[in-house]
Amino acid sequence: MNAVQDGTGATPAGLEAVVAAHGGPPLRLTETTAGEMREAAATIAKILDLDDEDAAAEAINALLDRYPARPRLERVPERRWSLRATAPHDAPAPWLLSTAALALALWLSERGYCAWGRCAAPGCDRYFVDTGRRSPQRYCSTRCGTRVRVAAHRDRGR
């Protein structure tokens, strides 16, 4: 989502690079299939904007119904075994939707709440998946969190 939003992953080559950087299958995208991938990212973003577990579960289940994940254990080079949806190389957008639905379903079931969201820092609209174990994450990065805390500190000093 973030790569599409900020433009670095908006082109076919950019999307191919983002998928490859995250251990996805090698893709060969055209401008048409890249557009389909951007639309798929927008669909996933709607789920990431949800903070109600029931609504998120409904949306994820709807994706799983439409794009059934055929999960398989795969060894990613230099990583452990990973549960992944099988990737039809001729249908990258359905693969992305299936993969995202599977990942979000696992994350919601493991955490019990929507452990994802959009950065709360003013001027930032990047998404994050909360991997912390303490209080719920509110910012996409340490940089955004620090920027908000420094601004609040300065405002208190005025």
Handedness of CA 91, 78, 80, 107 (dihedral sign): negative
Report the range out of 11-15, 78-82, 152-156 with the highest average pLDDT. Answer: 11-15
Find the mean pLDDT for residues 37-41.
93
- pLDDT tens across 117-150, in order? 999 999 999 999 998 877 788 999 999 999 998 9
Q: For residue 147, give every residue at least 6 positions away whose Cβ sits within 8 Å of its Cβ, in sequence order, or none.
A: 121
- pLDDT tens across 44-95, in order? 999 999 999 999 999 999 999 999 888 889 887 777 888 888 766 678 999 9
Phi first, then psi, for residue 37 (nearest 5°) are -65, -40
Find the mean pLDDT for residues 1-26.
85
Find the mean pLDDT for residues 5-25.
85
85 DSSP β-pair partners: 71
* Average pLDDT, rounded, for the chain: 89
Q: What is the pTM of this model?
A: 0.84
pLDDT at res. 152 = 84
Closest C-alpha to 100, from 142, 56, 63, 132: 63
What's the pLDDT band for 154 if we cut at 50, 70, 90?
confident
The Cα-based distances of 94 to 79, 86, 154, 158 in angstroms read 25, 10, 47, 52
Q: For residue 131, give every residue at least 6 positions away whose Cβ sits within 8 Å of its Cβ, in sequence order, or none.
A: 115, 137
pLDDT at res. 87 = 63
| Distance of alpha carbon 127 from alpha carbon 145, whole angstroms | 14
